Amino acid sequence: MRLIVTCDDSGSAKEVICTPGTDTSKQDKPQPISITQVFVEPKASPASRILYSTLYKERYAICCRLDASVSVYDLEDDEKKLVCHREYVELKGCKPVSLHVFSEFDALVMGLDSGKAALVGFHKNTLEKECQIVDLPGGKPIEAFEACPSQPGVFAYGGKENDLRIVKMFEVGKKVKLLESVEVLFAAKNVKNDHLDLRVPIWITKIRFISLKNSYKLITATRYGQLRIYDTNHGRKPAHDYQVCTNPIITLNFAGSNFDEVIITDNRNMVARHSLVSIDKKAFKTNSATAGDIIKPVPRLLGKYQEGGNTGAIFGVLCFKDTFVATGGLDRYLRVYDLETREMVSKVYMGSQIADILFLEGEEEEESEEEVDEEEENNALWDELESNRPAKKQKQT
């Protein structure tokens, strides 16, 4: 499989080619075929490290960096040449919270932590010099900004004490231009006060759109370890509010292409897969002196991706080919797991902290099979040699 993994320590990225079974922590296991540093231009430094990257028309990789600059690289080029790089004066001091690319309109949209969104056109391999900036309603800093996959121009966002809003930012047309005033389609309401009649704090960290059938359906993760499912037909409060862990959730991804399972990671070392369909109705039980027994439903935990001894927070989670999930984070390892069995398929030491992972292709199987064959032959040879040695044989039995 061929993956591109961003490197925080150097501000660049690395292209990893490895076969299933690769493990750099074990000397007798296969080692990665190649690790090459890419995306070094224009100036790789931790201050301009890559935060998010996406594929564009399966040929370009668009990366947005910590200093809110955008770089585009050509993936078909062997050296992954820089196509275009732009720094925007207006965005100085802002940190991007997400990057969304619309290939049909040749435009990309960034959410910025200061509660703004920026739209940049990308025509004929060059990024526009000027970017269009819009203040998002609410006027508070945001931490999550997500594009609706089926309706271009519709976005959802939220942050600390900034509850979920769905807005329409531009009309679908030939030339994309931001609307003069952002149209708010939906504004969420906080959940009910808790059993002590205290307000439940809001701190959204990630948003994902589930599906669109006459209404928007989304899922949000919070810094207080909750997963909330919103349905715009269901009212302004979340349709479901689940407490899944006690630590802040920092990433939220769907497991595979169906929307009924999610993979979440927290700010320690957990990578867990939860079902959104099978709900344990009485999984959360606690007792309060005033309110009596409190019983809450919890989405079923389908398992944790623990193999390989992860020690740090995971920032990059990527499911590909519906069979694998790649994770990378602060402990500087890239790990690839089997989505279903949760067994570790590959583990590669990257030498740098990881923020995001891009999947390029997975078809290296022919080569890998050959290699395995060779190895088997070698092993058979060694076995034969060893069987001729009586002392060893005794030990083996």
Partner 1 sequence: MDSEAIKRIKNKQRRQRVVSDLKHKHNKERHSLRKERAKEERANPQLREERIANNIPETLESKRVYDETVGAEIEGSDEFQKYFENPRDPKVMITTNANAKKQAYEFADIMMDFLPNSTFVKRKKAYNMKEMAKFCSNREYTDLVVINEDKKKVNGLTIMHLPEGPSFYFSVTSLVDTKRIEGHGRATDHIPELVLNNFNTRLGKTVGRLFQSMFPHRPEIQGRQVVTLHNQRDYIFFRRHRYVFRNEEKVGLQELGPQFTLKLRRLQRGIKDEVEWEHRPDMERDKRKFYL
Closest CB to partner 1 among residues 75, 348: 348
In this chain, which of 186, 224, 349, 359 binds partner 1, going by CB under 8 A?
Answer: 349
- Report the run of H or E that residue 275 belongs to, with start and end: strand 271-288
Q: Tell me if 24 contacts partner 1 by CB under 8 A.
A: yes
In this chain, which of 69, 98, 205, 352 binds partner 1, going by CB under 8 A?
Answer: 352
Nearest CA to 2 out of 19, 17, 23 is that of: 17
Cα→Cα distances 112→56, 158, 162, Å: 21, 11, 14
Return the sign of the alpha-carbon dihedral for residues 272, 275, 280, 284.
Answer: positive
Q: Tell me if 9 contacts partner 1 by CB under 8 A.
A: yes
**How many chain residues interact with partner 1 (CB under 8 A)?**
28
- Report the run of H or E that residue 370 belongs to, with start and end: helix 365-387
From the number of C-beta atoms within 10 Å of its C-beta (0-12, 13-18, 19+), residue 11 rates as buried
Closest CB to partner 1 among residues 4, 156: 4
Closest CB to partner 1 among residues 55, 270: 270
> Does the bond joining 42 to the residue before it have cis omega, within 30 degrees of 0?
yes
Q: Tell me if 351 contacts partner 1 by CB under 8 A.
A: yes
Q: Tell me if 330 contacts partner 1 by CB under 8 A.
A: yes
Closest CB to partner 1 among residues 24, 132: 24
- Report the run of H or E that residue 179 belongs to, with start and end: strand 178-187
Q: Tell me if 268 contacts partner 1 by CB under 8 A.
A: yes
Structure letter (DSSP) for residue 23: B
Q: What residue has token string 């709900």?
A: 279
CB of 10 to partner 1, least distance (A): 3
Q: Which stretch binds partner 1 (CB under 8 A): 70-78, 203-211, 326-334, 384-392?
A: 326-334
Closest CB to partner 1 among residues 218, 250: 250
Closest CB to partner 1 among residues 325, 350: 350
- Do 126 and 76 contact (CB within 8 A), yes or no? no
- In the three-class reduction of DSSP (H, G, I as helix; E, B as strand; rest coil), residue 390 is classed as helix
Contact track, partner 1, 205-244, x by CB under 8 A: ----------------------------------------
- Do 108 and 151 contact (CB within 8 A), yes or no? no
- Do 146 and 140 contact (CB within 8 A), yes or no? no
Q: Side chain identity at 29, as an amino acid letter? A: K
- C-alpha 163/C-alpha 201 separation (Å) is 10
Q: What residue has token string 């050509």?
A: 74
Q: Tell me if 34 contacts partner 1 by CB under 8 A.
A: no
Q: Tell me if 25 contacts partner 1 by CB under 8 A.
A: yes
Contact track, partner 1, 38-67, x by CB under 8 A: ------xxx---------------------
Q: In the window 142-161, what residues touch partner 1 (CB under 8 A)? A: none
Contact track, partner 1, 290-319, x by CB under 8 A: ---------------------xxx-x----
Q: Tell me if 331 contacts partner 1 by CB under 8 A.
A: yes
- Report the run of H or E that residue 372 belongs to, with start and end: helix 365-387
Residues that bind partner 1 (CB under 8 A): 7-12, 24-27, 44-46, 250, 267-269, 311-313, 315, 330-332, 349, 351-353
